[in-house]
Amino acid sequence: MATTLNKPLRKKKGTRRSPAYRIGWFFGRAIIFFVAGSALWVLLYRFVPPPITFTMIGDLAGGREISKDWMSLSEMDPDMARAAIGAEDWNFCTHNGFEFGAIRDAYLSNAKGNKRIRGGSTISQQTAKNAFLWQGGGYFRKGLEAWFTVLIEAIWPKQRIMEVYLNIAETGIATYGANAGAMRYFHHDASRLSTTEAARIAAVLPLPKKRGAVAPRGFTRRYGNSIASRIGVVRRGAMDACLR
């Protein structure tokens, strides 16, 4: 009777992945890590004050000593948040992070070559930029700003967005937050700001390295007076209702 000898089994060669597959696998994992990591970062700042920002790092790298002094929103004079709403974002309490009409108007105004550049960013967008990103433009940075804006609107309450904004926004050269700004300009903390003082700090926010809140002149003075009048409108119209 014939017998069949058992032949040694050959190892199967591993399937060779195509370059396109390997590139897709790499970018797929990178996207997952970015989404998870950024969400955890935003969740952390929901409870922990941001210890430092890229803008602060830039000041430190330039040899400046930064000034910041965190103050909770509940301790801060409510007119400071009202001034920010009146100056930067009338619909802060009702939008979901974006004001597409304002973005369109700013784009059209800037496209006409107007000397004074208009911004269309909401307080939520500015908070996302200040807390997680760097200054400057570019589509890539704007795309990241939009992503972080979606996250903070989903994870943080409006009170937290305003609190972080008013504590890390530049209020002067190497000065961050309304409280540090109040100490710099008015020699008292932000818990007892007058309407005029809150308005002047808000007037400095768009160009903190070029404007001063003490004895402002020209446009800064006029803008501060305008914001001061808006504070009452915000209060009477309950436009700060989400912060109470």
pLDDT tens-place string over residues 144-165:
999 999 999 999 999 999 999 9
115-139 confidence digits (pLDDT tens) = 544 457 999 999 999 999 998 878 9
Answer yes or no: is 26 within a domain: no
Q: How many CB atoms within 10 Å of residue 102?
A: 18
188-225 confidence digits (pLDDT tens) = 999 999 999 999 999 999 888 777 777 677 888 899 99
Q: How confident is the model at residue 180 (pLDDT cuts 50, 70, 90)?
A: very high
Contact 176, 58 (CB under 8 A): no
- 100: domain range? 51-60+67-243
Answer yes or no: is 105 within a domain: yes
Q: Which residue has the tokens 């903190």?
A: 208
Question: Percent of the chain beyond pLDDT 90?
Answer: 71
Contact 212, 204 (CB under 8 A): yes
Minimum mean pLDDT range among 8-12, 22-26, 45-49, 149-153:
8-12
Chain centre to alpha carbon of residue 125:
5
Tokens describing residue 182 = 């109040």
Answer yes or no: is 13 within a domain: no
Q: Is the pLDDT of residue 4 over 70?
A: no
Mean pLDDT of 38-61: 97
- CA dist 76 and 177 (Å) reads 11
How many domains, the chain?
A: 1
Answer yes or no: is 40 within a domain: no
Q: Look at residues 170, 185, 95, 168 and name the one whose alpha carbon lies nearest to residue 131.
A: 168
Answer yes or no: is 237 within a domain: yes
| Mean model confidence pLDDT for the chain | 88
Contact 242, 92 (CB under 8 A): yes
Contact 118, 109 (CB under 8 A): yes
Q: How confident is the model at residue 25 (pLDDT cuts 50, 70, 90)?
A: confident
Domain harbouring 140, CATH code: 1.10.3810.10
Answer yes or no: is 200 within a domain: yes
Question: What is the pTM assigned to this prediction?
Answer: 0.85
Q: What is the per-residue DSSP string for 181-230?
A: HHHHHHSS-GGG--HHHHHHHHHHTTSTTT--SSS--HHHHHHHHHHHHH
Answer yes or no: is 15 within a domain: no
Answer yes or no: is 206 within a domain: yes
